[in-house]
A and B are shown apart, each in its own frame.
Chain A
């Protein structure tokens, strides 16, 4: 309904609607669109890398530009593509799964998105303003502190702003899940995707502050003359590595845990079975998240921390394989004895199992510290984390998009195109990355702009580059699928898959208030329970009444825009007067917008009972 309504109102008002919306479903669209855009950018950067490494001593791009490309590929894919796409899926599905009408803080939700988006745009402006950051996505000091130009400054300010948005998103989801579950939706009845959203939000809450601190130190060092990382002035560069990885390792779980939730829901739905070992699945997620904070130094095995620290972190890292293994086997047991339907969502999920298992295996291998002295900072590590992040996160995002697309837009993605995209991407993925394990051990360190002739690395790199083009073709077909579906896609009912959880109990796309009456939840897979007992739909937990809804607001955009301007100001304030003006002006816009929000009462509005009754007809 909402989609057709906006179309009728014309493009201008549709844009205004999206600029001001606080509806979690529309914010999900924004996250998916923003994340999708950056995913394409990151993908183009990946292709440029693979073209450069297609043959030995290639001169397709210069050394400096290559370093900018690899830095932006990593930064974009992690912060601006994978995370927002996941936040998009969480926004789209989680409130529906717990039977809520929106998230706890709709205003904050909008603010989180616009901070991410404008932070991402700020970072990418660097391409046109003297060069992108070139110190790697990990920005190790002192390379990052001494990098000339403003590239790294864009990295610092862009990520600082985008990171603040993510932190808000995490807090928002936490409060939502704690406070806004429908009657009867106890913690141990929540769908796995909601559980993983919950635990991911905890990880965001505790991991992002470490990044924030690190970025602040880096900012003060580069822009305000501090010397936290400058050894010659008594600083310590290795502190940066600790701060970065105390954030960075939980970040890996922030990326993968939501996808574990997607797969759990998809496997359960399409094998028509309850998730096997639900309790174990929940607790293994918690254990993974907890251990995720205890293992950051495995990124630093070669730093010289000494054998005691190295082995402790090595063993702690290996321990993560246990709960992860439990998950893999529980998924297999969920499928076992089921009635498995293989559609696109299921294809991505099924492909995840072997791909991610390989990523997990190499995970244990790189955790083996004395062997990691060989793997570390080589293409073996590149292969390992792409197996985890592509084979886990990207597969999970595609599975989630296919799975929830009909819920989000009322139309189901085309199956033929979906499967073609999958096979191209899947084959391309293994072609690209499997061989890289060997390249690493054969002596190819990561972040190499060129590799030399006659070092036995030519064939492997060529195969890898060919695979990248298969992946690109798969992604292009997926985007064609989106356009095709928007134009001619098959319309579906609210429950196209014989679903099990609450989101399938309402229309597709859902009305903007989601649930006319909050549902009464009587167990795990609440909709399935009602179906099995012959009710077919949820029993309401409340009589039909007025629904309180939040008002749209332009303030989140203004706050973010103010910080965006201030970002440029911070970067250029040492160079010229305009920079200083932008710094103070931008902060003024942001703070005045916040003040407006604080002093202006916004009580929202009510959808009356009569309107709801009329809509039902």
Chain B
């Protein structure tokens, strides 16, 4: 019947479509264009297994197509009774042994890679960051450097950065597909993984463990900069004085409002142990508002007035007195000028 050839065509067409239309995805997000040590390790195994599995699939399909072409019932065969074969020890042994060999070919590099990725014996010689997952944002504490920030994680290129991850509420999962595979962020133990980025860039990070209403909006960024820039960023962050006077009058009013509305009860600016809500020290430099929105003034104002409309289920809604439009604008003015460093996402992205 024509259907069978049709089916094969559908298959190959689908595969082709998938690749041609979608490409490999967005650079610095997709795992298919790896730009870090972990992602390279995974990608090598992805390629190896894909090749082996495609080979297996082809063998199955060749036999399958032959069977369907040769052994369909033909006219005049109504009474034909095929030979009743019980089995064949030789053949059955072959299709037991060959898969075992193929699996060994996969299992050995898998084991090696898994142990390499889990090896954290040299952590103390490298940069260590405490990562806290929260519904629905990420906090980063560079404990040795005494620098805290949220949502944008700065790392130097070509160096291992160890992340010690823990959750403050439900389980999250830290995933920067272009740099490394994911690791869950649990409440009961600290999980350790490392990032090592090849080149400068702003990499998309995502929460990969279902964590509630705004799970899909819990994005963050990893900003990989040259080691020199990284040093500068750390220095700028450390030397930032939260009490310095903003340049414009509106921003100054915003700064007062920040105190008045008790925003600082949850949001720290500057180095601080407070991590009830995102640390806003470098808010003006953030590539996105709340992880996903463009950081325009209008969006920031909307966020301040009604965060629920942007991130359902967030913990900010209802925790502070009402903010008028005018007040929101001043707060936005203040927050947008918080730019402690000239090492910013823009400075590396284009």
A456 touches B73 (CB 8 A): no
* A67 at interface, CB cutoff 8 A: yes
- Cβ–Cβ contact B49 & A274, under 8 A: no
Pick the residue among A272, A354, A361, A449 that contacts B64 (CB under 8 A).
A354
B186: chain A residues at CB < 8 Å are 237-238, 303-304
Is B155 part of the binding interface, using a Cβ–Cβ cutoff of 8 Å?
Answer: no
Cβ-defined contact, A452 with B46, below 8 A: no
Q: How far is the CA of A357 from the CA of B32 in the complex (A)?
A: 23
> Assuming A63-B313, A304-B189, is B103 touching A318 (CB within 8 A)?
yes
Please determine whether A277 and B88 come into contact, CB atoms closer than 8 angstroms. yes
Contact B18 A273 (CB under 8 A): no
Does B266 touch A at the CB level, under 8 Å?
Answer: no
**A342 pairs with B25, CB closer than 8 A:** no
A423-B212 Cα distance, complex, nearest whole Å: 38
Nearest B residue to A284, CB-CB:
B96
List the B side residues contacting A365 at CB < 8 Å.
Answer: 46, 49-50, 53
Q: Which residues of chain B are within 8 angstroms of A62 by Cβ–Cβ distance?
A: 312
Instruction: Give min CB distance, A407 to chain B, whole Å.
Output: 22
Q: Which of B68, B82, B114, B207 has the most CB of A within 10 A?
A: B114
The minimal Cβ–Cβ distance linking B286 to chain A, given in whole angstroms, is 16
Least distance between A424 CB and chain B CB atoms (Å): 12
| Min CB gap A137→B, angstroms | 10
Given contacts A238-B188, A361-B53, A445-B207, contact A369 B110 (CB under 8 A): yes
B318 beta carbon closer than 8 Å to chain A: no
**A143 to B136 CA separation, bound complex (whole angstroms):** 13
**B312, A339: Cβ atoms under 8 Å?**
no
Contact between chains at B99 and A325 (CB < 8 Å): yes
Chain B residues within an 8 Å CB radius of A328: 60
Residues 14-37 of B contacting A (Cβ, < 8 Å) = 14-15, 17-19, 21-26, 29-32
- Are A447 and B210 touching (Cβ within 8 A)? yes
Task: Please determine whether A456 and B22 come into contact, CB atoms closer than 8 angstroms.
Answer: yes
B26, A443: Cβ atoms under 8 Å? yes
B181 & A376 in contact (Cβ 8 Å cutoff): yes
Q: Are A276 and B87 in touch, CB under 8 angstroms?
A: yes
- Roughly how many angstroms separate A142 CA and B38 CA in the complex, as a whole number? 29
Check if B182 is an interface residue, CB within 8 A of chain A.
yes
A193-206 vs B, CB cutoff 8 Å, 1 = contact: the mask equals 00000000000000
Check A358/B177 contact, CB under 8 A, given A315-B111, A442-B29: no
Query: Interface segment, B166-174, B247-255, B270-278?
Result: B166-174
Q: Which of A33-41, A429-437, A607-615 contacts B (4 or more CB under 8 A)?
A: A429-437
- Known A-B contacts A322-B99, A332-B63, A377-B173; the reply to A443 vs B313 at CB < 8 A is no
A3 to chain B, nearest CB (A): 31
Residues of A within 8 A of B226 (CB): none
Distance A276 CA – B89 CA, assembled complex (angstroms): 11
Contacting chain B: which of A306-314, A582-590, A594-602? A306-314
Interface string of B264-290 (1 = CB under 8 A from A): 000000000000000000000000000
A329 on interface, CB distance cutoff 8 Å = yes
- Smallest distance from the beta carbon of A189 to chain B beta carbons, Å? 13
Contact assessment for A342 and B53 in the assembled complex, using a CB-CB cutoff below 8 Å: no
Per the bound structure, the CA–CA distance linking A62 and B331 in Å amounts to 29
Docked Cα-Cα span, A274 to B88, in Å, equals: 13
- Is A443 a contact partner of B91 (Cβ separation < 8 A)? no
CA distance A136 to B23 in the complex (A): 31
Chain A residues 237 to 290 lying within 8 A of chain B, measured CB to CB, are: 237-238, 271-274, 276-280
Residue A513, interface by CB 8 Å: no
Q: Residue B103 contacts which of A231, A271, A303, A364 (CB distance < 8 angstroms)? A: A364
A166 interfacial by beta-carbon distance below 8 Å: no
Q: Is A572 an interface residue (CB 8 A)?
A: no
Using a CB-CB cutoff of 8 Å, which residues 101-147 of chain A contact chain B?
Answer: 135-136, 140, 142-143, 146
Q: Of A91-99, A457-465, A514-522, which binds chain B?
A: A457-465
Q: Which residues of chain A come closer than 8 Å to B21, judged between CB atoms?
A: 459-460, 463
CB distance from B292 to the nearest CB of A (A): 6
Q: Does B41 reach chain A (CB closer than 8 Å)?
A: yes
B117 touches A370 (CB 8 A): yes
Contact A373 B214 (CB under 8 A): no
Chain A residues within an 8 Å CB radius of B111: 311, 314-315
Q: Which residues of the partner chain A approach B88 to less than 8 Å between Cβ atoms?
A: 276-277, 333
Tell me if A231 and B31 are in contact (CB < 8 A).
Answer: no
| A306, A353, A437, A449: the one within 8 Å of B60 (CB) | A353
Any chain A CB within 8 A of the CB of B209? yes
17 contacts between A and B (CB under 8 A): A64-B213, A64-B312, A302-B181, A302-B209, A329-B60, A339-B77, A354-B11, A364-B103, A376-B208, A377-B208, A438-B25, A441-B46, A442-B177, A445-B208, A447-B215, A459-B21, A459-B22
Given contacts A322-B99, A438-B19, 17 further A-B contacts (CB under 8 A): A67-B210, A142-B169, A143-B210, A237-B186, A237-B187, A273-B85, A277-B88, A307-B117, A311-B115, A322-B96, A340-B67, A340-B73, A358-B57, A368-B46, A439-B22, A441-B25, A532-B81
The 6 closest A-B pairs by CB, nearest first: A373-B181, A442-B25, A370-B113, A361-B53, A448-B216, A277-B87
On B, residues with C-beta under 8 Å from A are: 1, 3, 7, 10-11, 14-15, 17-19, 21-26, 29-32, 38-39, 41-43, 45-46, 49-50, 53-54, 56-57, 60-61, 63-64, 67-68, 71-73, 77, 80-88, 91-92, 95-96, 99-100, 103, 106-107, 110-111, 113-115, 117-118, 169-171, 173, 175, 177, 180-184, 186-189, 191, 204, 206-217, 219, 292, 312-313
